[in-house]
Amino acid sequence: MSAEAVILLGAPGAGKGTMAEGIREAGNFIHVSTGDMLREAVKAGTPLGREAESFMSKGMLVPDETILKIVRERLSHGGAEAHYLFDGFPRTLAQARGLDAELSASGVTLKTVLLLDVPPALSVQRLTGRRICRQCGANYHVQNIPPRRAGVCDVCGGELYQRLDDRRETILKRLEVFQEQTAGLIAYYHERGQLQRVDSSGPREATVAEIIKRLQ
Ligand code: ADP
Ligand code: ZN
C-alpha cells in the first residue's frame, strides 16, 4: 500500500472535526486539522499563533502561504504508507493547487473528497452549541452530544469551553467566507471525479457509518 489522503470538505458546522474523530481509527488516519494546528499555535503564543489569531477571531481565513507551510511540514513526517485525513484544508483554490503539487511530489494518492452536506441553519445551531475539551480536544454539543456531566469531558475529565469564533456574528462571517472562498472547491473536485457527497445532517453515528462504508 502506498500513501493516501482523504479530504473532508464542508461548511463550518458540517461536522468535519466530529467525523474525523469518528473515522480516524477506521483507516488508521493521521488527522491533519489546520484549525487544530492553528489553535495550538495560538495557545502556545508562537509567531504563527499571533498571526493566525488576528484572522481566526474575525472568522477570516489565515493566508494561504502560512497554511501551506504548516501542512507541508506535517506531510514531511508522515512516511511512505501514511493515510492522511485532511479536515478544514484545503479551503481555497490556491490551497487545493498547493496540495495537489505537494501530494504528487511526495507520492501520496488523493483517494477521495467527502463533501459533508448540511443546511446553513443547522450549521449555526451546531456551532452555537458546540463545546470542546480544553485538555484532549474532544467535541460535544449542549443538545446533540451532551457530556455526561455538564461542562466536563467524558473522555478525560477536562473542562469544556466554547471557541471564541463560535459566537453568533463570527459564525455568520465564517459561513459567508465558506461560500465566497471554499465552495468553489466543490466544483474543482467534482470535475475531477473525486467528490462524494455525504448527508451530514443526521445523527453522528449514522454519518460516521456512512463515511466508513464509502471509504472501503
Ligand atoms: P470550521 O471549519 O468550523 O470553521 P476550523 O477549526 O477548521 O473550523 O477553522 C477555524 C478557523 O481557523 C477558520 O475560521 C480560519 O480562520 C482558520 N483556518 C483553519 N483552516 C484553515 C485553512 N485551511 N485556511 C485558512 N484558514 C484556516
Ligand atoms: Zn477531554
* Ordered mean pLDDT values, 10 residues apiece, the chain (216 residues): 92 94 89 95 96 97 98 89 96 98 94 96 95 92 94 98 93 97 98 98 94 94
Give distance in angstroms: CA of 178 to centre of ligand 1: 10
In a domain, residue 206? The reply is yes
CA 74 – ligand 1 centroid, Å: 17
Straight-line distance from the first to the last Cα atom of the chain, in angstroms, rounded to the nearest whole number:
14
Report yes or no on 25 lying in a domain: yes
User: Domain range holding 20?
Assistant: 4-118+178-215
Task: Looking at the structure, tell me whether residues 81 and 154 fall in a common domain.
Answer: no
- 17 and 80, same domain (yes or no): yes
Identify which of 31, 39, 14 has the alpha carbon closest to the alpha carbon of residue 186: 14
What is the pLDDT, as a whole number, of residue 14?
A: 96
Would you state the pLDDT for residue 1?
66
Instruction: Report the pocket of ligand 1 as residue ranges, CB < 6 Å.
Output: 12-13, 16, 34-35, 38, 55-56, 59-62, 67, 88-89, 91, 95, 165, 174
Q: Which three cell numbers stand for residue 215?
A: 471509504
The pLDDT of residue 47: 96
The CATH number of residue 190's host domain is: 3.40.50.300
Cα 170 from Cα 60, distance rounded (Å):
9
Asked whether residue 43 falls in the same domain as residue 123, the answer is: no
CB 7 within 8 A of CB 196: no
**Claim to verify: residue 96 and residue 191 sit in the same structural domain:** yes
Residue 27: its pLDDT value, please?
A: 84
Q: Tell me how far CA of residue 36 lies from CA of 39, 121, 125, 192, 199, in angstroms.
A: 5, 24, 21, 28, 24
Under a CB-based contact definition with an 8 Å cutoff, are residues 24 and 31 in contact?
Answer: yes
Quick one: which H or E segment has residue 105? helix 93-105
Same domain, 65 and 152: no
**193, 87: one domain:** yes
Q: Which of 24, 58, 163, 197 is catalytic?
A: 163
User: What are the cell numbers at 1?
Assistant: 500500500
What is the predicted pLDDT for the residue at 137? Answer: 87
CA distance 104 to 110: 9
Tell me the ligand closest to 59's alpha carbon. 1
- Peptide linkage before 203 cis (omega within 30 of 0): no
pLDDT for 80: 83
The tally of domains found in the chain comes to: 2
Q: Which of 99, 121, 167 is nearest to 11 (CA)?
A: 121
Which residues have their alpha-adjacent CB atom under 5 A from ion ligand 2? 133, 135-136, 138, 153, 155-156, 158
25 and 97 fall within a common domain: yes
Q: How close is the Cα of 56 to the center of ligand 1, in Å?
A: 7
The packing angle between helices 93-105 and 64-75, to 10°, is 20
pLDDT of residue 77: 86
Helix (H, G, I), strand (E, B) or coil at 200: coil
Half-sphere exposure of 185 (CA within 13 A, CB side): 29
Q: Cα 39 to chain center, whole Å?
A: 12
pLDDT of residue 163: 92
* DSSP track, 128-145: HHEEEETTT--EEETTTB
Please report, as a single letter, which amino acid is at residue 155: V
